[in-house]
Amino acid sequence: MSMKDKVVLITGGTSGIGKACAFAFGRAGAKVVFTGRNLQNLEQTSQELAAAGIDNLPVQADVSVEEQCEQMVQKTMNMYGRLDVLINNAGISMRALFEDLHLDVIRKVMDINFWGTVYSTKYALPYIKAGKGSIIGISSIAGYRGLPARTGYSASKFAMHGFLETLRTEMLHQGVHVMVACPGFTASNIRNTALAADGLQQGESPREEGAMMTAEEVAERILKATKQRKRDLVMTFQGKLTVFLNKWLPGLTDKLVFNVMAKEKDSPLKK
């Protein structure tokens, strides 16, 4: 599958994996539509893409608002007249023990991570179906295995997995490609903007960002897997091992996951 002259819509495309995907798909020949909530970041990213020779359209949108998802798809069609690939990337994380957590934090995470995917996919699907295109969900190992102190995040990714798996089955004979991509821990700003128990941003990553896979490497793998129309993409050895162990040795995995997450800086987990 060539990306030449394809139209790709990326939610949350002004930083991290989303921005890296904008460059990766754009350099492969696609026209790129990307969303974000911050107008200044949108304009800056658009200028950078244009400087790289990538045809692009920035759209200010909050994926947790259904009407704005409908509008971003319509703006894509008004500009380019087609939509071939939707990358549901916009997301937010959180870190706090459930017993300490304000429930509004889970609602916010679900609104962005799950409902944002549902809204965007709902309005994009007719056009992607017409062109036998692709719907991609940027998920996490947290969608295969619940991570302690990430109840809301894990719940949102489990929900995304269930939604996209069901959609894939419904579209089985319609020519629509549906893929769930799980990068594992990736160097991006998602942990810096993760919500704490009170709903405020965490501000500092609890993990060593320099030791992680870069957003650019993740984007290249997503591009390749999209071209190959893969069903699932789990990118790291740690991620693949976690999925395997959780399936076959779930009790052991409980202990291993607890121990790994308890080693994070300022972890709320205590034995």
* Residue among 75, 163, 68 nearest 114 (CA): 163
For residue 191, the 8-state DSSP code is T
DSSP E strands, the chain: 7-10, 31-36, 56-60, 85-88, 134-138, 177-182, 186-187, 213-214, 232-234
The label of the residue with tokens 């939509």 reads: 83
Rounded to whole angstroms, the Cα distance separating 264 from 220 reads 28
The answer to whether residue 119 is catalytic is: no
**Cβ distance 29 to 6 under 8 Å?**
yes
* Residue among 212, 267, 215 nearest 239 (CA): 212
Bridge partner residues of 201 (DSSP) = 195
The label of the residue with tokens 């934090």 reads: 105
- Sequence-ordered list of residues with C-beta below 8 angstroms from that of 58, at least 6 positions apart, any chain: 33, 34, 35, 36, 42, 43, 45, 46
Alpha-carbon distances of 130 from 9, 13, 174, rounded to whole Å: 16, 24, 9
Rounded to whole angstroms, the Cα distance separating 213 from 186 reads 5
**Cβ distance 10 to 18 under 8 Å?**
yes
Q: Which amino acid is at 241?
A: L
Report, as residue numbers or ranges, the catalytic residues. 153
